[in-house]
């Protein structure tokens, strides 16, 4: 592939916090817990939590639309309110983490299904409801509660739903946040409700109370058939660890079946606690293969707490990860980012070092010692095994937010020189240097590294972009 840098149209700058209460001015600002589908007319529709960083938000599951995955416009709320059954059960004032699926069976009037969460912070009295529509843009009709939990009765929390259809045509429903962990159960193919009435599912991931049980936002998907392990462990689970305010990050694991067992790339079990919260692993921070965390490239704003991701596959087969993120210099604000995602032959996913800016989908997969001239020269590299810098800010907890800074590394044409043992050579759009400057499409790579910390060798993500000066030299 040709990964030499080219000029690119000026891409939208990283969204700055906005104080306007008018959603029409937001773009991707204030987006939280995002997911994307492509409607039948080709429009991309993003669904997000009812959130506004500076005050109350419109209720009913926020919608935004786009024709290019870059520029997004407010499209209102799907339901206009918290549906009565969910509101009466949970006392929720808004809906969280809407999951929207194009249903392959049943009536065309219910072709699209939305699973929304209703709860309040810190409570397990929660509900996940179902709404249906003939198109992704609506009109949406509430159908009632699918799963509910009660704070004094249940050990887990019924929020953060996601649906995965397996190769046998069975829909599986994953959900959960903090407390005793994440759960999965089968759904009825026709109705979209639980296949077994009252079923709360099987626990598939958990963390001990020593780290506040901090994981949520499950997203289950299948490995491409070309990948190693696609027959033994065909399922990949994305989850978010730690605090959404400052330490959030995205990790992955795999499993042979929806009910597990799920293990990460280093064979650590994702169920790392007993149901009452006691740890069953030596270090709960060493569970889950890290694919994205807080980081900063030179000349760009520090990004903190990326998480609650979903995966979107475009019509051309290209994969994207969409997630929310905060800015280290203004952490109360949050926005959504979309990144290209690639599947390595080993069966593990990696994501672009930069948000999507219209760059080509082409990529070359490389082993540690494969030589490519594009990998020579100076690079800005983020290796998530490096010690992070902890940002301090008046709106952050005292512990601050971890940010892994990019380091300048000099490539000899191989991934090994940049710290990776496998990965892909791709392209990324980086912001222009200075106000009004055009963005640039430059060589980029993303892959995995092995690092040792606390006497333990772990596999973590590493990615980078061609250093600006080196990129100009190549262009010349």
Q: What's the DSSP call for residue 286?
A: G
Question: Which of 13-27, 183-197, 311-325, 433-447 is predicted least confidently?
Answer: 13-27
pLDDT classification of 468: cutoffs 50, 70, 90: low
Distance CA 48, CA 78 (A): 10
Residue 473, pLDDT > 70, answer no
Q: Which helix (H) or strand (E) covers residue 469, if one does?
A: helix 468-475
The Cα–Cα gap between 392 and 389 comes to 10
- Integer Cα distance of 225 and 231 in angstroms: 8
Residue 146 makes CB contacts below 8 A (sequence gap 6+) with 115, 128, 129, 130, 161, 173, 192, 193, 194
Judge contact between 463 and 350, C-beta under 8 A. Answer: yes
Q: Check residue 6 and give its pLDDT.
A: 36
Q: Which of 114, 69, 70 is nearest to 315 (CA)?
A: 69
What does the block give as tokens for 336? 């959504």
Whole-number Å distance between alpha carbons of 255 and 174? 14
Amino acid 377: pLDDT:
95
pLDDT for 1 beyond 70: no
Distance CA 136, CA 138 (A): 5
- In which band, very low, low, confident or very high, does the pLDDT at 3 lie, cut at 50, 70 and 90? very low
Count helices and strands (H / E) in the chain. Answer: 2, 30
Q: What is the pTM of this model?
A: 0.94
Task: Point out the least confidently predicted range of 9-13, 14-18, 146-150, 177-181.
Answer: 9-13
Question: What's the mean pLDDT in 262-283?
Answer: 96
Give residue-wise pLDDT tens across range 345-397: 999 999 999 999 999 999 999 999 999 999 999 999 999 999 999 999 988 98
> In the predicted model, is pLDDT for residue 434 greater than 90?
no
Q: What is the mean pLDDT of the chain?
A: 92
Tens digit of each residue's pLDDT (9 = 90 or more) over 155-169: 999 999 999 999 999
Phi, psi of 416 (to 5 degrees): -55, -40
For residues 347 and 227, the answer to whether their CB atoms sit within 8 Å is yes
Task: Please state, in angstroms and as integers, the Cα–Cα distance from residue 286 to each residue in 263, 266, 292, 414, 455, following that order.
Answer: 12, 9, 15, 28, 11
Q: Which two structure tokens, joined as six digits, stand for 103?
A: 């249903």
Does the pLDDT value for residue 454 go beyond 60?
Answer: yes
Which tens digit of pLDDT belongs to each residue from 58-77? 999 999 999 999 999 999 99
DSSP-derived letter for residue 434 is S
């Amino acid at each position: 592939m040709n990964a030499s840098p080219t000029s690119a149209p000026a891409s939208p700058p990283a969204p700055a916090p906005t104080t306007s209460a008018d959603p029409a001015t937001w773009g991707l600002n204030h987006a939280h817990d995002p997911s994307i589908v492509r409607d039948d007319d080709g429009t991309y529709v993003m669904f997000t939590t009812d959130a506004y960083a500076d005050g109350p938000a419109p209720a009913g599951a926020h919608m935004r639309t786009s024709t290019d995955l870059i520029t997004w416009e407010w499209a209102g709320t799907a339901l206009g309110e918290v549906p009565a059954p969910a509101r009466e059960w949970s006392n929720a004032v808004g809906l969280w983490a809407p999951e929207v699926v194009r249903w392959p069976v049943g009536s065309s009037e219910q072709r699209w299904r939305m699973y929304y969460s209703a709860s309040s912070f810190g409570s397990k009295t929660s509900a996940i409801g179902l709404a249906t529509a003939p198109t992704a843009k609506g009109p949406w009709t509430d159908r009632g509660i699918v799963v509910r939990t009660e704070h004094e009765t249940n050990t887990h929390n019924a929020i953060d739903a996601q649906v995965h259809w397996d190769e046998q045509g069975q829909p599986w429903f994953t959900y959960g946040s903090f407390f005793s962990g994440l759960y999965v159960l089968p759904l009825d193919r026709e109705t979209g409700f639980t296949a077994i009435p009252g079923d709360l599912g099987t626990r598939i991931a958990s963390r001990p109370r020593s780290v506040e049980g901090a994981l949520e936002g499950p997203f289950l998907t299948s490995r491409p058939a070309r990948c190693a392990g696609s027959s033994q462990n065909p399922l990949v689970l994305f989850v978010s660890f730690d605090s959404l305010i400052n330490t959030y990050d995205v990790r992955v694991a795999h499993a042979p079946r929806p009910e597990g067992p799920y293990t990460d790339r280093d064979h650590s079990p994702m169920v790392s606690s007993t149901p009452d919260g006691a740890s069953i692993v030596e270090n709960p921070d060493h569970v889950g293969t890290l694919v994205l965390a807080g980081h900063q490239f030179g000349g760009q704003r520090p990004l903190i707490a990326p998480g609650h991701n979903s995966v979107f596959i475009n019509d051309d087969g290209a994969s994207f990860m969409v997630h929310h993120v905060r800015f280290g210099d203004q952490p109360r604000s949050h926005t959504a980012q979309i990144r290209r995602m690639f599947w390595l032959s080993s069966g593990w996913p990696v994501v672009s070092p930069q948000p999507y800016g219209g760059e080509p989908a082409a990529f070359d997969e490389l082993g540690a010692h494969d030589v490519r001239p594009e990998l020579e020269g100076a690079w800005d590299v983020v290796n998530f095994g490096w010690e992070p810098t902890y940002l301090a800010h008046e709106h952050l907890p005292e512990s601050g937010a971890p940010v892994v800074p990019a380091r300048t590394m000099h490539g000899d044409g191989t991934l090994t020189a940049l710290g990776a043992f496998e990965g892909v050579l791709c392209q990324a759009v980086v912001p222009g240097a200075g106000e009004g400057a055009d963005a640039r499409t430059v060589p980029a790579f993303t892959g995995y590294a092995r690092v040792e910390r606390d006497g333990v060798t772990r596999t973590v993500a590493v990615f980078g972009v061609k250093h600006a000066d080196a990129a100009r030299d190549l262009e010349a």
